[in-house]
Chains A and B, each alone.
Chain A
């Protein structure tokens, strides 16, 4: 049963979508989130929680955040009706252009919010984890903007693969530390950042990159990214006089998705999250945590986790580094478990096809992460009528993914055989 078929009352029964004061979405007994962390970090997390609550209630803080977002990051981002794509699909496709933000993705919202809070708390250093380097670059940018010291932890495999982003961070004045432990990927970069934080917590803030981790990060990151949905909802009403029938976003940890979804939770709007299906769900090589994972604890939150029979984390796989995470933000787990949002996997191949399609029909090269949202949303939108609106969060731009595209499509040779392998558009 889709949320659209349900009465408002039934949706309303789950109407309390937010976490309780201890970070539980849906209550401690059966719900998601909480805080499974070493005692050494509890005081810092409590102080962060208090500072965030106070800041969000302080007009001076929220106004400064809005001003920086507007003047420095280029927000609010445009809402663009993709007319050629709409014609192709037979319904009206709206793109929330987060790809046009400073540093090229929605992530600037989160880091500016957290860095502003860091300054307010009187801390002088920030640390962050990064997979492909997008959150690292955003953190390095915010650190430069606010004059904070910045160290970014990055899996050593990713450091080699993403030399350009490593160089960007270094140019911005950040120290990039390669992480060799575990699988040397994003989850291990998070572990290493947490280890740093245990030892540096008195003067250091951890700019967590997604709406996951221990309380208050899932709720705080959502608060800093929810402008995506708040803006899009207002833009949609202003321009069309109605809300979209559906909204869609890609989900790794889930910060862009929760940033979009939050504004629509109490509306009669269908909500879709698209996870990385990798080589295909059936191959086991994917990052479809909600679809394939089981309830567990990872990085401080109870959520869906890709794990083996003994609770050891299983490595995820995706063509998109930004979605390649074996956990997911706990509020998404809650929205999935209650049926308020629908989460389905999109394979590497489907995402790359959508990336090429959007490039050719609209002149917009999306991030491969965002291409998952496009692919999944188009699948749903084929069942929509010509007047329905499908709103897709275009969470980032594709410049960083040119290496992936060159390899996937065999591009860059400057000859006839540079045509994409897939017939698209």
Chain B
């Protein structure tokens, strides 16, 4: 199944899609794969595999901590691709979320080729905008990969149109002006941003940054095509030293979120 099929299916069910993020290699490569399978089983429609990076400027403390532990554990880019392969094998569309330098270092063409052969659907690029992304866009198009770029509340209408036109799969709308992390209340900036984006594209628009509960997921699902959850899922694993307990917490939260996107 592709990312757009997953969004189409959710839309046919008259609900938003649930996109779950976890970094590869946390707590270990195999532990990360197991955790992502929990997300699949508990109702995520799309899985985002984070590629841990030494200088993650868009990430808050929770994802930073997990990524740092993954790097200290020695996770490599090839482990990220192995993770993608294992998760994509479940049949749930799997995308990689990565800062740009590790892709450039791996080789843009080579990364696109290896991602495609691992069964990955595409890339989310938080620090690469389409106007700086010609090389990636060409490589992704050649391999039939999804390109997910971000729009923000600060984006001008021109930039939203430019970005949405370059996206395939979905458009990632950052709900707040700030880094990743759970927040007590949902952002009042997200709704207008989604509306501005939907006005210029037929591509699904998913909202990320700050969603951590089923209730918040339901609020966002009322206006967005997808709900992206990251830090709250990572928190489940960080808060439990016993991986089995962490996965149990992950399953409970994912179930809550999956119910949330269905009751909007």
Residues of A within 8 A of B (CB): 22, 28, 34-44, 181-182, 187-188, 191, 194-195, 198-199, 201-202, 294, 296-300, 305, 307, 309-313
25 contacts between A and B (CB under 8 A): A34-B132, A37-B127, A38-B150, A39-B151, A39-B159, A40-B153, A40-B177, A41-B154, A42-B129, A43-B155, A181-B61, A181-B64, A187-B55, A191-B55, A191-B57, A198-B179, A201-B154, A202-B154, A296-B104, A300-B127, A305-B101, A307-B105, A310-B102, A310-B106, A312-B53
CB proximity to A under 8 Å, residues B74-120: 76-77, 100-106
Q: Which residues of A contact B131 (CB under 8 A)?
A: 22
A182 to B159, CA, bound (A): 32
Residue in A36, A44, A299 with the greatest tally of chain B CB atoms within 10 Å? A36
B245: interface (CB < 8 Å):
no
Q: Which residues of B contact A298 (CB under 8 A)?
A: 55, 101
Query: Could you tell me the distance in whole angstroms from the C-beta of A114 to the nearest C-beta in chain B?
Result: 20
Which one, B56, B77, B174, B176, contacts A39 given CB within 8 A? B174
A41 to B155, CA, bound (A): 9
Query: Could you tell me the distance in whole angstroms from the C-beta of B174 to the nearest C-beta in chain A?
Result: 6
B156: interface (CB < 8 Å):
yes
Query: Could you tell me the distance in whole angstroms from the C-beta of B56 to the nearest C-beta in chain A?
Result: 7
Contact (Cβ within 8 A) A199 B179: yes
Q: A40-B174, A181-B61 are in contact. Are A312 and B56 (CB under 8 A)?
A: no
Q: Which residues of B contact A43 (CB under 8 A)?
A: 154-156, 159
A28 to B211, CA, bound (A): 37
Contact (Cβ within 8 A) A198 B105: no
Q: How many contacts between A and B, using CB within 8 angstroms?
A: 115
Q: Which residues of A contact B132 (CB under 8 A)?
A: 34-36
Which one, B57, B101, B151, contacts A296 given CB within 8 A? B101
Contact (Cβ within 8 A) A312 B71: yes
Q: Which residues of A contact B64 (CB under 8 A)?
A: 181-182
Q: A38-B126, A182-B55, A198-B177 are in contact. Are A310 and B76 (CB under 8 A)?
A: yes
B60: interface (CB < 8 Å):
yes
CB proximity to A under 8 Å, residues B49-68: 53-58, 60-61, 64, 68
Q: Which residues of B contact A201 (CB under 8 A)?
A: 154, 177
Query: Could you tell me the distance in whole angstroms from the C-beta of A308 to the nearest C-beta in chain B?
Result: 8
A202 to B177, CA, bound (A): 10
Contact (Cβ within 8 A) B68 A198: no
Contact (Cβ within 8 A) B55 A313: yes
Q: Which residues of A contact B223 (CB under 8 A)?
A: none
Residue in B76, B105, B156, B177 with the greatest tally of chain A CB atoms within 10 Å? B105
Contact (Cβ within 8 A) B154 A311: no
Instruction: Output the nearest chain A residue to B57 by Cβ-Cβ distance.
Output: A194
Which one, A28, A36, A199, A305, contacts B178 given CB within 8 A? A199
Q: Identify the 8 closest CB pairs spanning chains A and B, nearest first.
A: A311-B105, A40-B152, A199-B178, A311-B102, A311-B101, A313-B54, A194-B57, A312-B54
Query: Could you tell me the distance in whole angstroms from the C-beta of A277 to the nearest C-beta in chain B?
Result: 23
B149: interface (CB < 8 Å):
yes
A309 to B75, CA, bound (A): 12
Q: Which residues of A contact B54 (CB under 8 A)?
A: 182, 312-313
Contact (Cβ within 8 A) B104 A311: yes
Q: Which residues of B contact A40 (CB under 8 A)?
A: 58, 150, 152-155, 174, 177
B163: interface (CB < 8 Å):
yes
A250 to B134, CA, bound (A): 35
A313 to B104, CA, bound (A): 13
Contact (Cβ within 8 A) A38 B104: no
Contact (Cβ within 8 A) A36 B58: no
Query: Could you tell me the distance in whole angstroms from the C-beta of B139 to the nearest C-beta in chain A?
Result: 15
B6: interface (CB < 8 Å):
no
Which one, A22, A34, A297, contacts B101 given CB within 8 A? A297
Contact (Cβ within 8 A) B105 A310: yes
Q: Which residues of B contact A313 (CB under 8 A)?
A: 54-55, 101
Q: Which residues of A contact B126 (CB under 8 A)?
A: 38
Residue in B54, B76, B102, B129 with the greatest tally of chain A CB atoms within 10 Å? B54
A402 to B144, CA, bound (A): 59
A299 to B128, CA, bound (A): 12
